[in-house]
Structure 1
Amino acid sequence: MPVLPKIMAQPTPADTPPRETFNKFFERWICEQNSYLEQLVTAANNHNHQNDDDAVLLPLIDRVVRHYENYYQAKSDWERRDAISMFTPTWRSKLEDAFLWIGGWRPTLAIHLLYSKSGIQLEAKIGDLMRGLTTGDLGDLAPNQIKRIDDLQKKTIHEERVLTEKLAKQQESMADRSMVELSSAVSEMIRNESSGGEDDEKVESALDSKEDGMEELLHMADDLRLETLQAVIAILTPIQAVHFLIAAAELHLRLHEWGEKRDMNTVSASGALNHATGLHVS
């Protein structure tokens, strides 16, 4: 297949306006993802792998990849405004939060997803493959594709480890000598009930430097997420890429819905318990 070029994020109608919260942007983005999912499913159902319809599939794949790029461009803009909030995203459910890695999905998840979907489609059409028929989907990966995917997985695991170690060092820096000295000085000031305008400035400066380090990590992790997605797409044929993007969207959308439902059930159960016990929070 023609290799998809690496597309730099370009401003699109989905870009987050200056005064729009990222929550609102995410709500619109996920609605758009659902719309793209329907288009991908239609394209897969109408595909005849014996005919050359790459001219139909490639523009759709390109639009979907651009949609992901737009998300990371908007996320990058917000990371510059408030990096810390991106580690505890309020637009995601607690279920999704539990599986986040540096503010988003772990890049190797894309490769695990590919192998999982490949196995499912292989089992579904094993009879056709045994008769020498090609299916054209992810159950029909060629040996050279499997080799490239395996190489990509090893490379991505290594890059994940590098970033994980950087995150650990950044977290450990909260207890470095300068922070301990500063916390002791401020604590002493509080005990002596003295004014600490100068110390306040030192605190803000110290915390800002820590946040800058976390922001840099977020950008690096998002770059790796997008690069991994693009690399997987480049290995696949157009129809295989369509099946992969369908699986990715379905997993993301369903996990988001399931998580939100669990959160709502938890809130409802908590409210019922408070009502039953007479506990009310004003």
Structure 2
Amino acid sequence: CSFIPKIQIFFYMQTRYINQLSMMSTSKNGLENGKSFHKFFESWLVKQNQDLDQLVRASKDDNNNNDMMLSPLIHSVVKHYEEYYREKSRYANSDVLGMLHPSWLSNLEDAFLWIGGWRPSMAFHLLYSKSGIQLEANLHELIRGFNTKDLGNLSGNQLVLIDELQHKTISEERKLSENLAKVQESLADTSMVELSHVVSELMRDELVVNDEEEKMEKSISKKEESLLDLLKKADDLRLSTIKEILRILTSIQSVHFLIAAAELHLRIHEWGKKKDAAVSHHKWSCQTINEEPNSEGTSVRN
């Protein structure tokens, strides 16, 4: 009788060891995957900075205010956005959780994430904000009848098309948010609650939990597949929103919109990183002060 429990304990410990090795391997792959995309992201930021410089130069060159001169530049910038989302999708196939909670972003950026990125509806707030700023800056010229050709001079037809696109985008965004809520709530569905209880009971009795943990892993994998599908749909909506807005705008207006988008993204990323560094430095300073040695040379915590 005493022999059976020993065998059970042996298999239990063996199973735990194998599972730990598997988790370590998965964690390592996810970490390497994250580091690889981090490197891609940093190189992509360099491209975005270069795109921004070209866009700003084009916006200030009066000779460039025609489709033939500006279209290749706009097309190139859009291609870089497509490249970003194509690579993101590729990496997400092997580590969707890492893409939904990216370690290469700052805490500031992370706080405003929506399904692994920016809310598509935010593009319209950006457009209207920049339009208002440019309208106010060039108000005197507009009153005198001059055409500024920037976002401050959107036509009535353009405003109607933008409004229609905004409503459509918000509707699609809402559907994805609702689907995300369903996936999140499924973490506490009947099967997960039952499996977690069974595994807990087996662990308390020091019995083998291999079969149940496999079931748990399969159940979680299905939820990850749902998250992957949502992430790709969200990224598709982000990219399509940019493209649809650019189709409504003139070439020079598109340049101004892309400038505003790049400036906002790059500056928020920089501000967030600086804020994280400041918080980290403050924590380190406090820890150093608390661990200052006393007169006898031993470290004392305050």
Which TM-score applies when normalising by structure 2?
A: 0.84
Q: Distance in 2 between matches of 1:19 and 1:224?
A: 23
- Residue pair 1:129, 1:135 contacting (<8 A) in 2 also: yes
Q: Which of residues 130, 137, 144 is equivalent to 2:157?
A: 144
- Residue pair 1:47, 1:53 contacting (<8 A) in 2 also: no
Q: Distance in 1 between matches of 2:162 and 2:204?
A: 60
Cα deviation 1:201-247 (Å, max 9, x = unaligned): 11211111111110010001000000100000000000000000000
The alpha-carbon deviation at position 197 of structure 1 amounts to 1.4
1:245 aligned residue: 258
Q: Which of residues 4, 19, 36 is equivalent to 2:51?
A: 36
The alpha-carbon deviation at position 87 of structure 1 amounts to 1.3
Q: Distance in 1 between matches of 2:265 and 2:34?
A: 27
Task: Report how many aligned residue pairs link the two structures.
Answer: 261
Question: Does 1 or 2 have the higher relative contact order (CA < 8 Å, sep 6+)?
Answer: 1
Q: Which of residues 11, 21, 25 is equivalent to 2:40?
A: 25
Q: Distance in 2 between matches of 1:139 and 1:69?
A: 28
Cα distance change on mapping 1:103 and 1:46 into 2, 3 Å:
same
Structure 1 runs of 4+ aligned residues shifted over 6 Å read none
Q: Which residue identity lines up with residue 52 of structure 2 in the other structure?
A: L
Q: Which residue identity lines up with residue 128 of structure 1 in the other structure?
A: E
Q: Distance in 2 between matches of 1:163 and 1:20?
A: 28
- Residue pair 2:66, 2:251 contacting (<8 A) in 1 also: no
Q: Which residue identity lines up with residue 271 of structure 1 in the other structure?
A: W
1:185 aligned residue: 198
Which sits farther off after the overlay, 114-123 or 52-61?
A: 52-61
Q: Distance in 2 between matches of 1:122 and 1:101?
A: 30
Cα distance change on mapping 1:190 and 1:20 into 2, 3 Å:
closer
The alpha-carbon deviation at position 53 of structure 1 amounts to 2.7
1:122 aligned residue: 135
**5+ residue gaps, structure 2:** 1-32, 293-298
The alpha-carbon deviation at position 20 of structure 1 amounts to 6.9
Q: Which of residues 88, 94, 101 is equivalent to 1:81?
A: 94
Structure number with the higher helix fraction is: 2
1:203 aligned residue: 216
Structure (1 or 2) with the larger CA radius of gyration: 2
1:219 aligned residue: 232
Q: Which of residues 53, 60, 68 is equivalent to 1:45?
A: 60
Q: Distance in 2 between matches of 1:190 and 1:277?
A: 40
The alpha-carbon deviation at position 199 of structure 1 amounts to 1.3
- Residue pair 2:34, 2:103 contacting (<8 A) in 1 also: no
Q: Which residue identity lines up with residue 200 of structure 1 in the other structure?
A: E
Q: Which of residues 112, 129, 135 is equivalent to 1:99?
A: 112
Q: What is the Cα-based RMSD across aligned positions, in Å?
A: 1.5
Q: Distance in 1 between matches of 2:243 and 2:53?
A: 21
**Identity, % of aligned pairs?**
53
1:111 aligned residue: 124
1:158 aligned residue: 171
- Residue pair 1:41, 1:246 contacting (<8 A) in 2 also: yes
